[in-house]
Structure 1
């Protein structure tokens, strides 16, 4: 806790808080269940029962975190507790909790969701900083400033020139951060090895309609749909692709 006060922020700390991480895991489980139901891998009522209980406030988050070291990761206690809770309300649906995914899939995809939110906060801060520098540069365009070279006084420059030299690298870095974020925030769906044979022999089916604002291509029908980037569409895409013999794994 030595550096958090000045190297982070309250908003960023909340992004990776235990409750936020557990909620992202629950979001993944809910999306996985809905996706599996849409392509006929699990019954729709079971998916609805699972998704309705994927809310972190229903669970003792500190107890889940405390159980993580014994399990080796946070996914196992989360899945176990979710399965037990689903069984209380719909015993027949409990067997479909976490169906087709591994613990690594759950942890990695949940952290991708958290990282996406963290990148959004960083991007917001960068935009505010750039806007402030631009405002100062316009306001002080004619203010003279002594330039330096080799730590020695040189010709006179403007404060605007100095501020713009701070601004331009920040703009480039912000753009690269957005590009790398888009390229790196990938779904992890390795699945338990036993699932691959079962999925490879499943009937071909295509999930339609694609969710709304990201361009993606269905490996089964080769059609392109308009969709919203996020956990739900990614899992639906994965389940759709899993029914195709030409399944391509997205993993590290």
Structure 2
């Protein structure tokens, strides 16, 4: 199995893979073990198990050497990887009281996904900050650069390239903010087999809240086994980020066309058969990655249909979908950064096509958008 989130082309070809490493199968399974270790500590701290049982749990977890292929094969019988992992830990521990205390498989898997997403989100936020800086610089530099606006595929009225870049900036900045809020709100999952913490009563809620604090996660909603809004919200927020950078990519691609040639990537791509071409390859790749996210977002919305106290297939559909939507978004952000870094703006070509010199409030709008940039 790969230590990246999907495959060699999709991740490595997008640029920096530090984001994708947090979404890998290894990161996911390791986070399940992290949940089990933190749960043993929380249960001991709450007085539900002994310190000796917690230590035995830690010894078993620390001694585990992950064989991802073996875990995948063993997952088939029960339908998820937690079942064989927990069975192995209980065998290793001897004293099994500290393993999977009062938990169910969904508790471990949901919390592991949340941990992976939070960590990946921190890397993505840094990259988005870099994109915001590039856009802010473009908007500032070209505050007064005239260019023909285009509506419905036709030339319209003059505007400025500064206000165009500021519009790109505003969308990226706001979508990044929304994603940050959704990630910050991601909660721990710990509620037991039917969501009522019966196996750790009367200390269950105390164990839950200690576990949340230990992992640095929100403690509410208390039970979200069939309330999938936390994961769906963060997935949709990621898709909005992908949409915001895809808009930029589309404009760069269109404006790089030979017949327009108003912008050009600093390091355009070539062609295997046409040596004269200078393709906006980074923007094209950004578009390709981002274009996958609406379908993935639709799948996440479909998972809101959870039956009774545990989703039957709807929950299982989330595990890869949420990682895919994050990975595709991160890859799109990587490529739009490459597209914008050193973007060549052909101001003379823009000026030659501009009819009239009235650009309205374009410069003032640019300034107002830039003033809202507090990153």
Match of 1:42 in 2: 49
Asked if 1:4 is matched to 2:30, the reply is no
Aligned pair in 2 of structure 1 residues 11, 108: CA closer, same or farther (>3 Å)? same
The residue that corresponds to 1:62 in the other structure is: 69
Structure 1 pair 114/198, CA: closer, same or farther in 2 (3 Å)? closer
Partner of 2:176 in structure 1?
174
**Shift of the alpha carbon at 1:29?**
0.3
- Structure 1 residues 218-249: Cα deviation after superposition (integer angstroms, max 9, x where no partner): 7xxxxxxxx997653559x79xxxxxxxxx54
Aligned-pair RMSD on alpha carbons?
A: 3.4
Distance 2:57 2:80 in 1: 21
Of residues 19-28 and 4-13 in structure 1, the stretch that sits farther from structure 2 once superposed is 4-13
TM-score, L = length of structure 1: 0.72
> Any idea what SS the aligned residue of 2:101 has?
coil
Matches within 5 A, 1:230-245: 232=215
Cα offset, 1:57, TM superposition: 6.3
- Tell me how far 1:128 sits from its aligned partner: 1.4
Which blocks of at least 5 consecutive residues in structure 1 are unaligned?
208-217, 219-226, 239-247
Deviations along 1:95-118, whole A, 9 cap, x unmatched? 321121011111111111112123
Q: Distance in 2 between matches of 1:205 and 1:198?
A: 11
User: In terms of mean alpha carbon deviation, does 42-51 or 140-149 score higher?
Assistant: 140-149
Query: Which of 114, 124, 127 matches 1:125?
Result: 127
CA distance 1:83–1:234, shift in 2 (3 Å): farther
> Can you list the C-alpha shifts for 1:10-38, whole angstroms capped at 9, x where unaligned?
33432222211111001100000000000
Which of 52, 75, 81 is residue 82 of structure 2 equivalent to? 75
Find out whether 1:186 has 2:187 as its counterpart.
Answer: yes
Counterpart-to-counterpart distance in 1, 2:72 and 2:35: 18
Instruction: Indicate how the Cα distance of structure 1 residues 118 and 171 shifts in structure 2: closer, same or farther if over 3 A, else same.
Output: same
Q: 1:234 to 1:161 in 2, by over 3 A?
A: closer
Which deviates further from its counterpart, 117-126 or 107-116? 117-126
CA offset digits 1:69-91 (Å, max 9, x no partner)? 122110011111222222xxxx2
Structure 2 unaligned blocks of 5 or more: 1-6, 228-375
* 1:172, distance to aligned residue in structure 2 (A): 1.2
Is the counterpart of residue 162 in structure 1 residue 145 in structure 2? no
The match for 2:253 is: none
Q: Distance in 1 between matches of 2:126 and 2:195?
A: 43
Question: How far apart are residue 250 of structure 1 and its match?
Answer: 4.4
Tell me, yes or no, if the aligned pair for 2:121 and 2:183 is still in contact at 8 Å: yes
Does structure 1 retain, via aligned residues, the 8 Å contact 2:102–2:198?
A: no
TM-score, normalization: structure 2? 0.50
Per the TM alignment, residue 43 of structure 1 is displaced from its structure 2 partner at its CA by 0.8
1:27 aligns with 2:10: no
Q: How many residues align?
A: 218
Larger deviation, residues 25-34 vs 151-160: 151-160
